[in-house]
Amino acid sequence: MNYYYITGTSRGIGKAFAEHLLTNPSNYVFGICRNKTIEHPNYTHYHLDLTDVNAIKDFRFDPHSHPKKIYLINNAGAIGFIKPIGKLDADIIIKNYTLNLIAPSVLTNAFIEFYNTTDCEKVIVNIGSGAGKNPVDGWAVYCSSKAGLDMFSRVVDAEQKIRAEHPQESIHKDFKIFSISPGVVNTAMQSEIRSAEKADFSRLEDFISYKVNNQLSEPSIVSDKYLKLLNNLTTIKGVLSSIKDYE
């Protein structure tokens, strides 16, 4: 059996991931988020507020008998209020860093700790963003948290490679990690972006045009592209990449 832990399965890419995986009876999905929107015999939902640090700390992964694959897909994320620094509420800044960076970091740490002696394919997939590589006005917290997630992924990858060279020093090895950006996707986040004030976001018209000109990919199509990559890990171009790199 293949086991997939996915954050943010209530909608968007996370829900599409789960629904796609559940078409295969050999897959079992654990959804991690506040709202349950999926009913399936091979689906278990963990009601977890990923902006609550104490709740994240208390989350525990499950033991699995003779798994073939165990994946953690850190998909949940939010852009937050689109405003320049100096106009944001402090609580919003803290909440969005927690969701976008602290939650995936804590879950990845727990995932590696819990499954370090489990003999199977073990993969962490962080849903990255081009915003983590290019500054966008009004998105300071989102850009910096995604940049942090990219660097976090690179460090974990480096640690795994070091441990692979010195197996006697640690059993925390044999994990693969990737941060893969999806491009612009037709999700609730895009609706939030289009609702921003022009005075707070210079690129508002660009994002409105993505919708008007049908340039947004559907979550089901994007999730299918991700899963094709994950079914053939050797095709993935390094720790950091974008879905566009494979088109």
Q: What is the residue-wise DSSP string for 115-153?
A: HTT--SEEEEEEE--GGGTS--TT-HHHHHHHHHHHHHH
Q: Which backbone phi and psi does 181 adopt, to 5 degrees? A: -85, 140
Of 157-161, 164-168, 236-240, the poorest mean pLDDT is in 164-168
At residue 103, the pLDDT reads 98
- The CATH class of 2-184+218-246 is alpha beta
At residue 151, the pLDDT reads 98
For the segment 111-139, the average pLDDT, to the nearest whole number, is 95
Closest Cα partner for 45 from 65, 63, 59, 24?
59
* Statement: residue 115 has pLDDT above 90: yes
Q: Write the pLDDT tens digit of every residue in 41-99.
A: 999 999 999 999 999 999 999 999 999 999 999 999 999 899 999 999 999 999 999 99
Q: Parse the chain into domains and list their residue ranges.
A: 2-184+218-246
For the segment 215-230, the average pLDDT, to the nearest whole number, is 93
Residues comprising the chain, all counted: 247
For the chain, give the percent of residues with pLDDT over 90.
89
For the chain, give the percent of residues with pLDDT over 70.
97
Q: Write the pLDDT tens digit of every residue in 169-192.
A: 555 468 999 999 999 999 989 989
Higher pLDDT, 212 or 172: 212
List % helix, strand, coil for the chain (3-state, nearest 5).
Answer: 45, 15, 35
Task: Return the exposure string of 201-216: e unless at least 16 CB atoms fall within 10 Å of the residue's CB, then b.
Answer: beebeebeebeeeeeb
The pLDDT confidence band at residue 163, using thresholds 50, 70 and 90, is confident
142 is catalytic: yes
* Statement: residue 14 has pLDDT above 80: yes
Joined tokens for residue 106: 């804590």
Active-site annotation holder among 3, 71, 142, 210:
142
Residues in Cβ contact with 150 at an 8 Å cutoff, skipping those fewer than 6 apart: 126, 128, 132, 133, 179, 240
CB distance 122 to 143 below 8 Å:
no
For the segment 2-9, the average pLDDT, to the nearest whole number, is 98
- How far apart are the C-alpha atoms of 76 and 202, rounded to whole Å? 26
At residue 247, the pLDDT reads 80
On average, the pLDDT of the chain sits at: 94
At residue 171, the pLDDT reads 53
- How far apart are the C-alpha atoms of 218 and 13, rounded to whole Å? 8
Q: Write the pLDDT tens digit of every residue in 24-43.
A: 999 999 999 999 999 999 99
Strand runs labelled E in the chain: 2-7, 27-33, 43-47, 69-74, 121-127, 175-181, 240-242
Higher pLDDT, 227 or 247: 227
* Statement: residue 165 has pLDDT above 90: no
